[in-house]
Protein backbone atom coordinates (compact mmCIF):
# COMPACT_ATOMS: atom_id res chain seq x y z
CA UNK A 1 0.00 0.00 0.00
CA UNK A 2 1.26 3.47 -0.87
CA UNK A 3 0.20 6.51 1.13
CA UNK A 4 1.26 9.99 0.04
CA UNK A 5 0.97 13.25 1.93
CA UNK A 6 1.66 15.97 -0.61
CA UNK A 7 2.12 15.64 -4.34
CA UNK A 8 2.90 12.50 -6.29
CA UNK A 9 4.18 12.57 -9.84
CA UNK A 10 4.45 9.52 -12.03
CA UNK A 11 4.45 8.86 -15.73
CA UNK A 12 2.99 5.35 -15.39
CA UNK A 13 0.81 3.84 -12.70
CA UNK A 14 0.83 0.05 -12.63
CA UNK A 15 -2.05 -1.52 -10.71
CA UNK A 16 -2.38 -5.06 -9.45
CA UNK A 17 -3.80 -7.57 -11.96
CA UNK A 18 -6.49 -10.11 -11.09
CA UNK A 19 -8.97 -12.48 -12.70
CA UNK A 20 -12.63 -12.36 -11.65
CA UNK A 21 -12.02 -15.40 -9.46
CA UNK A 22 -9.09 -13.83 -7.61
CA UNK A 23 -10.15 -10.20 -6.97
CA UNK A 24 -9.75 -9.24 -3.31
CA UNK A 25 -12.73 -8.24 -1.19
CA UNK A 26 -13.92 -4.83 -2.36
CA UNK A 27 -14.74 -3.92 1.24
CA UNK A 28 -11.04 -4.15 2.10
CA UNK A 29 -10.11 -1.57 -0.57
CA UNK A 30 -12.75 1.21 -0.77
CA UNK A 31 -11.84 3.60 -3.62
CA UNK A 32 -9.17 1.10 -4.77
CA UNK A 33 -8.35 0.50 -8.43
CA UNK A 34 -7.34 -2.83 -9.99
CA UNK A 35 -6.95 -4.41 -13.42
CA UNK A 36 -9.24 -7.38 -14.18
CA UNK A 37 -7.90 -9.44 -17.07
CA UNK A 38 -11.11 -11.38 -17.76
CA UNK A 39 -13.84 -8.82 -17.03
CA UNK A 40 -17.06 -8.91 -19.04
CA UNK A 41 -16.46 -7.08 -22.30
CA UNK A 42 -12.70 -7.64 -22.05
CA UNK A 43 -9.88 -6.68 -19.76
CA UNK A 44 -10.72 -3.57 -17.76
CA UNK A 45 -9.81 -1.37 -14.89
CA UNK A 46 -12.20 -1.67 -11.95
CA UNK A 47 -12.77 0.46 -8.88
CA UNK A 48 -14.10 -0.49 -5.46
CA UNK A 49 -17.22 1.22 -4.18
CA UNK A 50 -16.67 -0.49 -0.84
CA UNK A 51 -19.10 -3.29 -1.70
CA UNK A 52 -18.22 -4.43 -5.24
CA UNK A 53 -15.56 -4.01 -7.89
CA UNK A 54 -17.10 -1.92 -10.69
CA UNK A 55 -15.87 -2.31 -14.26
CA UNK A 56 -14.76 0.89 -15.95
CA UNK A 57 -16.05 -0.51 -19.27
CA UNK A 58 -19.55 -1.53 -18.22
CA UNK A 59 -20.09 0.37 -14.95
CA UNK A 60 -21.41 -2.92 -13.55
CA UNK A 61 -20.03 -5.12 -10.76
CA UNK A 62 -17.35 -7.56 -11.90
Q: What is the pLDDT of residues 33-44, one digit of tens each?
A: 999 999 998 999
pLDDT surpassing 70 at residue 1: no
Q: What is the pLDDT of residues 6-50, one digit of tens each?
A: 777 767 888 999 999 999 999 999 999 999 999 998 999 999 999
> Is the pTM for the entire model greater than 0.85?
no
CB 18 within 8 A of CB 34: yes
Q: What is the DSSP string of 1-62?
A: ----SS----S-----EE-TTTPPPGGGSTT-EEEETT-TTSSEEEEE-SSSEEETTTSSB-
Give the pLDDT band of residue 3 (cuts 50, 70, 90): confident
Amino acid sequence: MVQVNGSLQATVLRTASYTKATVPAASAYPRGIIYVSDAAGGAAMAWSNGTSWISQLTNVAI
